[in-house]
Amino acid sequence: GEQITACGALRYSAVDSNPLSVYVMHPFWNTIVKIFPTWLAPNLITFSGFLLLVFNFFLMAYFDPDFYASAPEHQHVPNGVWVVVGLLNFIAYTLDGVDGKQARRTNSSTPLGELFDHGLDSWACVYFVVTVYSTFGRGSTGVSVFVLYLLLWVVLFSFILSHWEKYNTGILFLPWGYDISQVTISIVYIVTAIVGVEAWYAPFLFNFLYRDLFTTMIIACALTVTLPMSLYNFYKAYKNNTLKHHSVYEIMLPLVSPVLLFVLCTSWIFVSPMDILEVHPRLFYFMVGTAFANISCQLIVCQMSSTRCQPLNWMLLPIALQRNTSPLPVNCIPHPGTHPLWSGRGEPAEQAFQYTTLLTKETHAGLTRNGGRENQLAVCRSTVNICCKYL
């Protein structure tokens, strides 16, 4: 269905045509939202759901720090943990679907609420993707950390594609893959608790393993559903002459920074003398997801305020600079009084940690700026100042 909300000068328009969402989840959410008192702020509901995903991420990091817990002859994650993770994932998904209904129910829709909701959604991508990885993990029965890295980017590009559509058409077409993936992931967690991770070792069909099904579903959903529907919606806006931008350069601007982030991070993986993705996969995924969330938040601000998207995100600077350092194989804990980004001391994981800290500060600042209407030049100046402090 189509949802249109007016917030002062801002007009929020979203289309959700997924049958699972329209005929199953929305009726369910309409019932759930009536449980909440009218004084409960929608942003609190949004933040609570996000914190549940963060909790799942760190819970699995405790029981499966290096993604080998699901491999044969390794100590597996307790079954009770899978139940907790599955329930919390579904609750987080429910809260994400209810927050907007609570805002319309209490007439409290704001530009800040839209930024807060979709901004946290962009950051949540890395948390639920990395958490579900623990069901298969690495090793002979799982997928490599590099394959998971590529699958993470499939999810991230699927997310940014919907906001790229809104930047050009003014309408947010919600991707089908999100609802399907969240319900499926929650079920997989519960099934894992019942049958154990050993059940995923067996072939699904002939020699086709469950890990192959997991990989195929993500890629197929992106290539056969998300991408074609995005192109179709874009083409329909073009035929109806409702595009907000008409030159190819302006249309493609929002995709420059995400593509550059992918190129920089992927090149870092291949040139890293410490083989950072193999040594610190969870930290590297976290850095990529945080950087991507910052880029997404700036795009969301631009589409809400009808301002021009900047071609480059200055938060990419630390990643570009790290390639000029000469990291030494030392302890992962940063040296007191030094900054690995500048001195070249410390392995790339230290650089990722420093960069993540920097990005977290900027993301927080971006989420608290009066509905995202602050002058973009001031945002860039603030970003450069933060970079300079660490460099």
Q: For position 157, what pLDDT does the model report?
A: 94
Cα dihedral sign, 134-139-140-143 = positive
Residue 74 has pLDDT above 70, yes or no: yes
Residue 288 domain-assigned (yes or no)? no
Q: Retrieve residue 162's tokens.
A: 């919907």
Spatial CA neighbour of 359 closest among 318, 321, 323: 318
Integer Cα distance of 238 and 164 in angstroms: 14
Residue 268 domain-assigned (yes or no)? no
Residue 158 structural domain: 10-244
Residue 374 has pLDDT above 80, yes or no: no
Residue 352 domain-assigned (yes or no)? no
Residue 146 domain-assigned (yes or no)? yes
Q: For position 189, what pLDDT does the model report?
A: 95
Integer Cα distance of 379 and 387 in angstroms: 12
Mean pLDDT taken over the chain: 81
**pLDDT, tens digit, 9 for 90 and up, residues 229-273:** 888 888 888 888 888 888 899 999 999 999 999 999 999 999 988
Q: Which of 63-67, 101-105, 190-194, 226-230 shows the lowest mean pLDDT across its residues?
A: 226-230
In this structure, are residues 20 and 175 in contact, taking their beta carbons and an 8 Å threshold?
no
Check residues 375 and 164 and name the one with the higher pLDDT: 164
Q: Residue 358 — very low, low, confident or very high, per pLDDT cuts 50/70/90?
A: very low
Residue 148 has pLDDT above 90, yes or no: yes
Q: Residue 203 — very low, low, confident or very high, per pLDDT cuts 50/70/90?
A: confident
CA distances from 334 to 347, 350, 362, 367 (A): 9, 6, 21, 28
Integer Cα distance of 360 and 197 in angstroms: 34
Residue 386 has pLDDT above 90, yes or no: no
Q: For position 368, what pLDDT does the model report?
A: 42
Write the CATH number for 138. 1.20.120.1760
In this structure, are residues 339 and 390 in contact, taking their beta carbons and an 8 Å threshold?
yes
Per the structure, how many domains does the chain have?
1
Residue 278 domain-assigned (yes or no)? no
Q: For position 156, what pLDDT does the model report?
A: 95
Here the contacts of 169-173 (C-beta below 8 Å, separation 24 or greater) are: 169/233, 169/234, 169/237, 169/242, 169/243, 169/244, 170/13, 170/242, 170/244, 171/13, 171/14, 171/15, 171/233, 171/237, 172/12, 172/13, 172/14, 172/15, 173/14, 173/15, 173/17, 173/229, 173/230, 173/233
**pLDDT, tens digit, 9 for 90 and up, residues 330-356:** 343 343 333 333 334 444 444 545 555
Integer Cα distance of 390 and 367 in angstroms: 22
Q: For position 323, what pLDDT does the model report?
A: 57
Residue 131 domain-assigned (yes or no)? yes
Q: Retrieve residue 51's tokens.
A: 């914190």
When pLDDT is averaged across residues 143-172 and rounded to a whole number, the result is 92
Residue 379 domain-assigned (yes or no)? no
DSSP 337: T
Residue 99 has pLDDT above 50, yes or no: yes
Residue 22 domain-assigned (yes or no)? yes
> What is the rounded radius of gyration, in angstroms, for the C-alpha atoms of the chain?
21
As a whole-number percent, the residues of the chain with pLDDT over 90 amount to: 47
As a whole-number percent, the residues of the chain with pLDDT over 70 amount to: 79
Residue 385 has pLDDT above 60, yes or no: no
Q: For position 364, what pLDDT does the model report?
A: 46
In this structure, are residues 319 and 355 in contact, taking their beta carbons and an 8 Å threshold?
yes
Check residues 297 and 368 and name the one with the higher pLDDT: 297
